[in-house]
Structure 1
Amino acid sequence: MQDLPKHLWHNLPEEDALAALKTDHHEGLSHDQVEERRRLFGANSISAQQGIHPFKRFLLQFHNPLIYILLVAVGVTFLLAEYIDSAVILAVVLANAIIGFVQEAKAEEAINSLKSMLSSEATVIRDGQRQTVQATELVPGDIVLLASGDKVPADMRLFKCRDLQVDESALTGESVAVQKERTQLEQDTVLADRINMAFAGTLATYGSGAGVVIATGDDTETGKIADMISQAVSLDTPLTQKIKAFSRILLIVILALAAITFGVGLLHGQTWVDTFIAAVALSVAAIPEGLPAVVTITLAIGVRRMALRNAIIRKLPAVETLGSTTIICSDKTGTLTENQMTVQKIMAGGRLYEVSGSGYQPEGELRTQDDHTLQPDTVPEPLHQCLLTGLLCNDSRVLEAEGQWHVEGDPTEGALITSAQKAGLDRSELERKHQRLDTIPFESDRQYMATLHRYTDDAHIMLIKGSLEQVLARCQDALDSAGKASALDSETITKTADQFADQGLRVLAFAARTVPTDTADLNSLEQTENEPVLTFLGLQAMIDPPREEAIQAVATCQKAGIDVKMITGDHALTARAIAGQIGIRNPDPEGGERQVLTGRQLEQMTDHELLDAAERVSVFARVAPEQKLKLVTALQAHRHVVAMTGDGVNDAPALKKADIGVAMGIAGTEVSKEAADMVLTDDNFATIEAAVEEGRTVFDNLVKFITWILPTNLGQGLVIMVAILISATLPVLPVQALWLNMTTAVFLGLMLAFEPREAGIMTRPPRSPDSPILSGEMIGRIVSVSTLLLIGAFSLFQWAQALGESNEVARTLAVTLFVVVQSVFLLNCRSLTVSLFRTPAFSNPWIWGGIATMLLVQLAYIYTPVMNTLFQSAPLTPLHWAIMLAYGALVLLLIEGEKALWRHHKNRNAESGKVE
């Protein structure tokens, strides 16, 4: 039993499957067999994932090269009895660690959520007796009985189906319930087409059935998905990758400068203690301690903004990742579509009609081919009869709850009810008028449903709906446009049905027959295939329609250089039709217009062919969960930043593997939400467009912040290094450097996080994943401002000493000049390309509040005795302030001039056709 390959169960005859499992469909397993198999296979539950211990997660916050330098500085300054310096540095390190720990994504809960997918109880046959047991007690070989409303408790091979329909949308992406059949399937049948199987966690929506358990717990298809989730490695985001690379470079530069400083100090005859303090001062000054905190806070602000636009961020870096997304892989059902079947086209009386509206909400209208809208009192008789049949030959209900319309029963039947209501038909009134007398339920081998109703005092009416082949075979004539019986034109009807099917529409045929009350008998329908007696009424063609807002959102994403791909478990024709309506196109013109690849085709591809197909094709249908995962991996191999949207259990592994996983908040399963980085509260694909816009804004603001903060650190480092090189007194002490770094980052730099998005942000292409955080232009600006800070601070320090001022006053001058220059440079950085004088002055009032707050804090640093003691500062005179403010104004004008030169350079390149 254990040696049988699991993928062969659907390929085995029923008797062979039962024999392989050593069970009997009448008697089931014996008590001893159950106990033995429970020891062998364990409980029917999914293993929980081992999370990271909170203490370990806290320690990981210190796993950063720049933090290592600060921790060394803490230890050395403490040993040298510089207790204030040591305490301040340690406080900064701990603050950053706590912020990171609090914002860390909580331990993975997706697999625990999968445990709730399994039913709590199951009805089984054991020892020949019908029993109700806990689902966790099921073992392979158990005989399980299913009824409408039951959650399937384990993977099963079905050997009994009575009109059994199972909703597998959460597992396979199939948009309608699957009709299950007793049949033997080909070995290569994909998961979504295994109609002789029922899978754990899916829901029986209609009929009844029975099957033998072939897999439990981790061995079920749901369990396999859980395993894929646990194995899918969450990749670093583009931002975290760039920050790590940036930190490594900064570490090397800082250590090199510190080593040079230490060596030069010793060569100049200074003691090793003084030289080491100078090296520590340089290191502390050059490290942007405020960077981790401000990056975290900036992302948190982006989270708040996105929440206001119906996007809930579960993991902070996802905010920025959206901004660099190059491909969105979207599920179809419920994401790009309404997840509500809707009749769109009708043929009745030889004429075609269009039906507007979407979903089960009875709002819309019927139009003729010449775009004439039909009123309830002008509906032609053939169309009325076709709609009436769909309404009465129907076992489902469409209901409204809390403003949302939904179907109880089969989605296809729900669509027929809604189309009839759009034409003004009142179901309650018609059911009273035409009381149902008998029913033949739909069965897969019959392919139709029939009902018998009272019609007149001396006649009843048979109504039938089903597949075109079965209904047409029983028809002898058809209603013409005037509602009269006429010759049946089977060829034209079939051609029309084929045209509907080519558009991805699901087609149902309708027929009727009036019979005398004394001879009315539905059983006679079984013989009518050989002796046609029905009148053909028409066709209704339906589809799960695309969301209107999704069409616009896809177009906007494509305009922004983001390719949209559809990856669905639904049929290829349906996927092609929806892709056409939404506007999804292949990025490769040679790939064919909306070429569709199926899961079976992907399965036959080599790894190289799969890599090529993932890049070239935009629509994938009948795709299994592991293939979704492979497609995302293939796209990432092409250096794409991949966003994956979805709502089902089958989407969870790919959601976790993608750079950014986007789950649906309303229709999504808990599994998909836990695996995702972002959840859409309105299930609206258009919200992704807004989130991408916010993500790009967040990254822009982070670049502005980094461009602004680095001159402070580089400038301080240069000031200290020059002082060492010429054997001068240090213009900035380590504790003063920390004061500068933290206060300016929080009160000045953080204000850039509130900058509104710049014009044209959604018309430029996505950033290349390989591009550095800072461009050559930004690096040049950082060097320019750092040099200006070096010149200004060192000159002021030397000038003050030349006038006989104390070291405390001279250092306070140097530190405050940094504050002044950083304040005016903050205004320059509101846009890295547009002139400050063209930027609306009050579009970001936080900037002015930050500058005012920083001024008050710096005044306290200068003029309060406590701060003078802690930071060795001293009061300044009005002359000092006048010189510093004048220098700040000079820096502002020089940077604006540099920006103007860059704009002129770019415009010349654009005019000459050069690409930078």
Structure 2
Amino acid sequence: MNAVLEKKVSREPTQGKEQRSWHSLEAEEALELLQVSPHRGLSEEEVAQRQALYGRNSMTPKEQQSAFVRFMLQFHQPLIYILLASTVVTIFLGEYTDAAVIFAVVFVNAIIGFVQESKALEAIDALSKSMTSRAQVIRNGKKQNIDAQELVPGDIVHVQSGDKFPADVRLVQERDMQVDESALTGESVAVEKNVLPVAADHVLGDRLCMGFSSTVVTYGQGKGVVVATGDRTEVGKIQQSIDGAQELETPLTKKIKAFSHLLLWVILGLSLIVFVVGLLRGESAGDTFMVAVALAVGAIPEGLPVAVTIMLALGVSKMAARRAIIRQLVAVETLGSTNVICSDKTGTLTENQMTVQRIVAGDKAYKVTGLGYRPEGEVQEEAQKLYLSPNKALELCLKAGSLCNDSALVEKEGKWIIEGDPTEGALLVSAHKAGFDRARLEQEQPRIDAIPFESEYQYMATLHGGDQRMIYLKGSVEAVLERSSKVLQPDGKLSLLNKEEVEKQVEAMASEGLRVLAFAMAEAPAVMSGIGHQDITSGLVFLGLQGMIDPPRQEAVEAVKLCQQAGIEVKMITGDHAITAAAIASQIGLGGQQQNGKLLALTGKELQQLNDRELEEVAARTSVFARVSPDQKLRLVKALQARDKVVAMTGDGVNDGPALKQANIGIAMGITGTDVAKGASDMVLTDDNFSSIEGAVEEGRGVFDNLTKFIVWTLPTNLGEGLLILMAVMLGTQLPVQPVQILWVNMTTAVLLGLTLAFEPKEPGIMSRPPRPAGEPILTHDLIMRTLLVGVLMLIAAFGLYVYERQQGASVAEAQTVATTVLVVLECFYLLNCRSLVRPMQQIGFFSNMWVFYGIGAMLGFQALFIYVPFMNTLFNSSPLELMQVLRIFGAGLVLFLIVTIEKNIRYRSNRNKKV
């Protein structure tokens, strides 16, 4: 049997590379291929054989690197190489305390990265948990309740309302089954299932004869045959996509890596020059090597990695206050570089609450105000924009929607929710807005009997008592029109029903993305105590139509507008229907291709026909993608990235996992998001709101601005220190500053001065400028020229005052203390210039960031200790200074401040004139 089965099934999707389209087969053919009877199921022997062939119904965890290897890889970064080199150098110099401090910084950075990476591994664990459940199967002709992990292809399973499908199943029987597939397909409305085969090229959301692992039955019941288990289910394929998604570098890591590599070569080159020049001058190799080491220590920006980590951490806390939880530090800056946001529709751009927006009754059209399930709003005539005028047809249309209804509208903890079907809930809310309270209606017309909704008939009907027994019916337009012959007019009179006119009204509503339900009624005999399908086959009175949609969030509309102003493209990628997606996209304000004056939505079926190059072109010019499968979401993200786009992708379902991981920044929903989506993301929105993304982008831009300010502030010091050593070597003089003094300057100023820039407020117009080009370096031409200018000024001031003090008879220690203090004081003055890289001081507010002045005060206090405390004199070879020496140092600082201020003003005016 095993050999036969393996041969028989080896060509099926559970084994072979070719994917069999089970949804395109008749149910009987699927059962025959899997060699199973729907009534008897598999025998224990067959189960054992298939388990040996297919394995357990669980997902294979990805082989992970050991914790030790992952931790050691945290040191595999250019900046960390620089710090490790600094540690080795300081140990070589005998400065063990400094070495310990630098290595402690490296170690803490490694721990932070290790913890953040470990959290990402939870994505696979979440997928495994989604498979651990129970399943009701038929084996040996008997119903059994087993662990879902024991399922095999060919098992016959039963599911009913509230159950999760334990594997991928081809339905063979169903009764009124509706399934919530939003976690897998992104479609917001429950899908009505049947057993009829569909075309092989149908996307997941259209495979109505299939039940997919981890989707939930919301209504009805059914029976099916398992066709795929474990890794071979649609959810399993998503795991494989997540495992295979490329880990991308962020714009920040790319730029800092490039900068660090450049810096490494510059340092090595200068050190080599110093070493060679020293040897040519006849100095000993040992002394020359120590001078080269001093140059390297001066040029290495020891405080840069510390500042990057701390500034990103501060950005994380700022974003948390704006309802965006960052899972990886570098995601803060990546948001600031984002130029494309691919957003899901349901719950992110929309309310995720079905809302009636249009009603047609008695030949009149109405709009319904208010959003979501909160019963606040009005029913207004569209034509005159007036409050509701008498209309018997509208009144009964709304009553029918409220009474022919099995759901409930309830308020819990100040929030209105629907218990039952969201579509029925929308009808309760629209009736309530017109003043028809459900409880009062049921008192006046209590329900006697009902015909529940069945997919075969496409309607629900209820029989009610009261002064006159009434039958109310709601359902698809086709089903209601078929049973109706007359229509109710606003004055309560009846006339012949014009079905063609109704169909035109339906078409117009559907073109707006509205889901349309039709309503009818019939008077029933007073003695009638039950209702059957034979009672409503014809002769009903048509009441009207109600059109509903999951409406866009108002704050999302404004957020999309702000993103577009900031040069960020917003694209909608959803599993929902194309018409609905296009309608919502138009309301939100997304641009893109249009057809016949309406926004064009590209479907997953159309995407399948495109090769990668064609997809790149289409993805660039299209803003709405509908009925998209998980692998197509992944392809779209890759296509955009191929065009050098920095892509942010939102998602909440299992199906979004691969795209979230592939995107430059994955954004998961905190409320509706699955564990899989959260585990694969870089950021989680606590309110599921698109507007929080816009706020996070703004914060990300601010973080990158402040990081750039820090780099522009710190580099001239390293340049000046390196030039000092180089100058001393070229002139053959003693070093103006010692290596240990350079370490003092670099470490203390980075922490006490540089980090104050992290608290600099966001500059005006930060969301009015376009995103930074992906290839643009951290330092522009203007900033490089300013860095050279300030570095040279520091060289002139420090070397000049060192030489002057020696000429005045000062000791070497005293002159070196002056040169060291010059570097510190000039950094304090230059810090004021770096609060804005473009705008003059008067435009940003002198006292808008008091942390800068606190930092300067603290740094000057520590430098006073360096100068005047005997213990510090011994440790750093420093010496006390006289008042005139200190005044000359501050005079040099003031000169630097004035020169840089003039340079900034000249560039600012020049750039403004160019724009004009």
**Gaps in structure 1 of 5+ consecutive residues:** 912-916
8 Å contact 1:89–1:738 — kept in the other structure?
A: no
Superimposed CA distance per residue, residues 558-578 of structure 1 (whole angstroms, 9 cap, x where no aligned partner): 011101000000000001100
The alignment status of 1:632 with 2:637, answered yes or no, reads yes
Compute the displacement of 1:428 (Å): 1.7
Residue 397 of structure 1 pairs with residue 403 of structure 2: no
Counterpart among 35, 40, 43 of residue 27 in structure 1: 40
Question: 1: CA distance between counterparts of 2:699 and 2:194?
Answer: 49
Q: What letter corresponds to residue 575 of structure 1 in structure 2? A: A
**Higher deviation after alignment, 829-838 or 890-899:** 829-838
Do structure 1's residue 580 and structure 2's residue 589 form an aligned pair? no
Question: Which residue of structure 2 aligns with residue 533 of structure 1?
Answer: 539
Tell me the secondary structure at the aligned position of residue 466 of structure 2: strand
Q: Does 1:2 align with 2:7?
A: no
The counterpart of 1:723, out of the listed 709, 728, 735, is 728
Give 1:116 deviation, angstroms: 2.2
Which secondary structure does the structure 1 equivalent of 2:524 belong to?
strand
Residues 1:868 and 2:876 are matched in the alignment: no
Q: Give the match's secondary structure for 1:312.
A: strand
Superposed displacement of residue 522, structure 1: 3.0
Cα deviation per residue 1:831-867 (whole Å; 9 max; x = unaligned)?
1111123331211111011001111111111112222
**What are the superposed Cα offsets for residues 175-221 of structure 1, whole Å, 9 maximum, x if unpaired?**
11000111011111111111100111111111111111111111111
2:62 aligned counterpart, secondary structure = coil
Report 1:781-800 matches (<5 A): 781-800=786-805
Within the candidate set 408, 411, 434, 1:423 is matched to 434
CA distance in 1, matches of 2:220, 2:555: 36
Question: Is 1:835–2:843 an aligned residue pair?
Answer: no
Pick from 453, 476, 482 the counterpart of residue 467 of structure 1: 476
- 8 A Cα contact 1:365 1:373, kept in partner: no
For 1:541 and 1:741, locate their aligned partners in 2 and report how far apart those are by CA, in whole Å.
67
Counterparts of residues 173-188 of structure 1 (less than 5 Å): 173-188=186-201
* Correspondence 1:205 to 2:214: no
Q: 1-side partners of 2:484 and 2:597: how far apart?
A: 41
Superposed CA offset, 1:483-511 (max 9, x none): 22122121221111110011110110000
Q: TM-score, normalised by structure 1?
A: 0.96
Match of 1:16 in 2: 29
- Among 252, 258, 261, the alignment partner of 1:239 is 252
| 1:498 has 2:498 as partner | no
Instruction: Quote the residue 1:914 is aligned against.
Output: none
Letter in 2 for 1:496: Q
In the alignment, the residues of structure 1 paired with residue 870 and residue 64 of structure 2 have an alpha-carbon distance, to the nearest angstrom, of: 50
Instruction: Find out whether 1:643 has 2:656 as its counterpart.
Output: no
Equivalent residues of 2:348, 2:689 under 8 A apart? yes
SS in 1 for 2:173: strand
Are residues 1:713 and 2:748 paired? no
Trace 1:58-97 onto structure 2 (pairs within 5 A). Answer: 58-68=71-81, 71-72=84-85, 74-75=87-88, 78=91, 82-84=93-95, 86-97=96-107
In the TM superposition, residue 123 of structure 1 has moved relative to its aligned partner by: 1.0
Following superposition, the deviation at residue 641 of structure 1 comes to 0.5
Give yes or no for contact 1:181–1:195 (8 Å, CA) kept in 2: yes
- Rounded to whole Å, the distance in 1 between the matches of 2:771 and 2:683 is 19
- Separation in 1, partners of 2:347, 2:430: 20
Matched, 1:275 2:266: no
- Distance in 2, matches of 1:280 and 1:76, equals 7
Distance 2:237 2:780 in 1: 44
Are 2:802 and 2:819, in contact at CA under 8 Å, matched by a contact in 1? yes
CA contact (8 A) 2:328 2:682 kept: yes
In the TM superposition, residue 795 of structure 1 has moved relative to its aligned partner by 1.1
Q: Distance in 1 between matches of 2:781 and 2:599?
A: 40
**Which amino acid is the alignment partner of residue 656 of structure 2?**
D
Tell me, yes or no, if the aligned pair for 1:336 and 1:550 is still in contact at 8 Å: yes
The aligned counterpart of 2:3 is none
3-state SS in 2 of match to 1:645: strand
SS of match in other structure, 1:565: strand
**Number of residue-to-residue matches in the alignment:** 900
Alignment of 1:694-713 (within 5 A): 694-713=699-718
Give the deviation of 1:335 after TM superposition: 0.8
- SS of 1:223's partner is helix
Query: Which residue is 1:441 aligned to?
Result: 452
Counterpart-to-counterpart distance in 1, 2:487 and 2:820: 93
Which moves more between the two structures, 541-550 or 265-274? 265-274
Q: Tell me which moved more, 712-721 or 674-683.
A: 674-683
Q: Provide the secondary structure at the position in 2 that maps to 1:124.
A: strand
Contact 1:140-1:213 within 8 A present in 2 as well: yes
Query: How far did residue 592 of structure 1 move?
Result: 7.8
Counterpart in 2 of 1:407? 418
Q: Does structure 2 conserve the Cα–Cα contact (< 8 Å) formed by 1:265 and 1:275?
A: yes
For structure 1, which segment, 620-629 or 363-372, has the greater mean C-alpha deviation from structure 2 after superposition? 363-372
1:753 alignment partner AA: A
Contact 1:710/1:782, CA 8 A, preserved across alignment = yes
Asked whether the equivalents of residues 118 and 151 of structure 1 are also in contact (C-alpha less than 8 Å), the reply is no
Alignment of 1:317-336 (within 5 A): 317-336=330-349
In the alignment, structure 1 residue 125 sits paired with structure 2 residue 148: no
Distance in 2, Cα, partners of 1:246 & 1:591: 50
Misfit runs of 4+, over 6 Å: 588-592
2:352 pairs with one of 339, 344, 349: 339
Q: Deviations over 1:389-439 (max 9, x none)?
A: 111111122222222222222111111111111111121222233222222
User: Structure 1 pair 72/677, CA: closer, same or farther in 2 (3 Å)?
Assistant: closer
1:277-316: per-residue Cα shift (whole Å, max 9, x none)? 1111111110101101101101111111111111111111
| 8 Å contact from structure 2 (residues 89, 297) kept in 1 | no
Q: CA deviation at 1:526?
A: 6.9
C-alpha root-mean-square deviation of aligned residues, in Å? Answer: 1.7
Change (3 A) 1:279 1:158: same
- In structure 1, the residue matched to 2:661 is 656
What amino acid does structure 1 have at the position aligned with 2:588? I
Higher mean C-alpha deviation, range 91-100 or range 754-763: 91-100
The answer to whether structure 1 residue 553 and structure 2 residue 564 are counterparts is: no
How many Å apart are 1:648 and its aligned residue?
Answer: 1.2
Q: Counterpart of 2:5?
A: none
Bigger shift: residues 420-429 or 694-703: 420-429
Contact 1:350–1:480 (8 Å) recurs in 2:
yes
Q: Output the amino acid matched with 1:760.
A: G
1:852-890 CA deviation, whole Å, 9 max, x = no partner? 111111111111222222211111111111000011000
CA distances 1:655-684 after superposition (whole Å, capped 9, x unpaired): 111111111111111111111111111111
Q: Structure 2 vs 1, CA of residues 843 and 76 (structure 1 numbering), >3 Å: closer, same or farther?
A: closer
Asked whether the equivalents of residues 345 and 542 of structure 1 are also in contact (C-alpha less than 8 Å), the reply is yes
Query: Is 1:165 matched up with 2:174?
Result: no
Conserved 8 A contact 2:448-2:530: no
> Quick one: structure 1 residues 373 and 363, their matched pair in 2 at CA, closer, same or farther if it must change by over 3 Å?
farther
The match for 1:618 is 623
Q: Secondary structure of the equivalent of 1:442?
A: strand
For 1:710-859, what aligned pairs fall within 5 Å after superposition? 710-859=715-864
Q: Is the 8 A contact 2:798 2:823 kept in 1?
A: yes
Deviations 1:243-283 (A, max 9, x none): 00000111111110000001111111111111111111111
> Which residue of structure 2 lines up, in the alignment, with residue 673 of structure 1?
678
Among 316, 324, 330, which residue is 1:303 paired with? Answer: 316
Determine the C-alpha separation between the residues in 2 that align with 1:226 and 1:430: 50
Question: Which deviates the most, 757-766 or 727-736?
Answer: 727-736
What amino acid sits opposite 1:2 in the alignment? S
Give CA deviations for 1:222-257 in whole Å, capped at 9, x if unaligned.
111111111111200000000000001111111100
Q: Give, as a single letter, the amino acid of the residue that structure 1 aligns with 2:126.
A: S
Pairing partner for 2:112 from 102, 105, 112? 102
SS in 1 for 2:57: coil
Separation in 2, partners of 1:77, 1:381: 90
Name the residue aligned to 2:4: none
User: Separation in 1 of the partners of 2:737 and 2:568?
Assistant: 48
Query: For residues 70 and 631 of structure 1, do their structure 2 counterparts lie closer, same or farther at Cα, with a shift above 3 Å needed?
Result: closer
Provide closer, same or farther for how the CA distance between residues 73 and 750 of structure 1 changes in structure 2, counting only shifts above 3 A.
closer
Asked whether the 8 Å contact 1:67–1:93 carries over to 2, the reply is no
